[in-house]
């Protein structure tokens, strides 16, 4: 059983992305989601990242809270 805390930095680790606070901020600033697509449908994910995110959301898995948080952050409009 994976006991890694499901926080945003660990989600980025799971996705194979840089996970420092600065790298996460940079990722969020440079990637945005349209309201009409699901997080895992975004074009910027690899196939394995898409599958991981879809599974996390659909199964309400350990990572669902962190994926919901990421989804919200990627939908915020730059003001």
What confidence tens digit (pLDDT) does each residue in 45-72 have?
A: 999 999 999 998 888 778 888 999 999 9
- pTM for the predicted model, two decimal places: 0.85
In a domain, 69, yes or no: yes
Residue 3 has what pLDDT?
46
In a domain, 9, yes or no: no
Q: Which helix (H) or strand (E) holds 52?
A: helix 47-58
Which range of residues forms the domain containing residue 50?
A: 36-79
Contacts of 62-70 with CB under 8 Å at 24 or more apart are 62/2, 62/6, 63/6, 63/11, 63/14, 64/6, 65/6, 66/6, 66/7, 66/8, 66/10, 66/11, 67/11, 67/39, 69/8, 70/8, 70/11, 70/28, 70/39
Given a cut of 50, whether residue 1 has pLDDT beyond it is: no
Domain count, the chain: 1
Residue 59 has what pLDDT?
84
In a domain, 22, yes or no: no
SS3 12: helix
In a domain, 72, yes or no: yes
In a domain, 17, yes or no: no
């Amino acid at each position: 059983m994976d006991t890694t805390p499901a926080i945003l930095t660990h989600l980025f680790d799971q996705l194979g992305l840089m996970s420092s606070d600065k790298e996460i901020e940079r990722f969020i600033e440079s990637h945005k989601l349209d309201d009409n697509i699901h997080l895992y449908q975004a074009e910027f994910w690899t196939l394995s990242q898409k599958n991981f995110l879809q599974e996390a959301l659909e199964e309400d898995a350990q990572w669902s809270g962190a994926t919901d948080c990421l989804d919200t952050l990627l939908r915020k409009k730059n003001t």
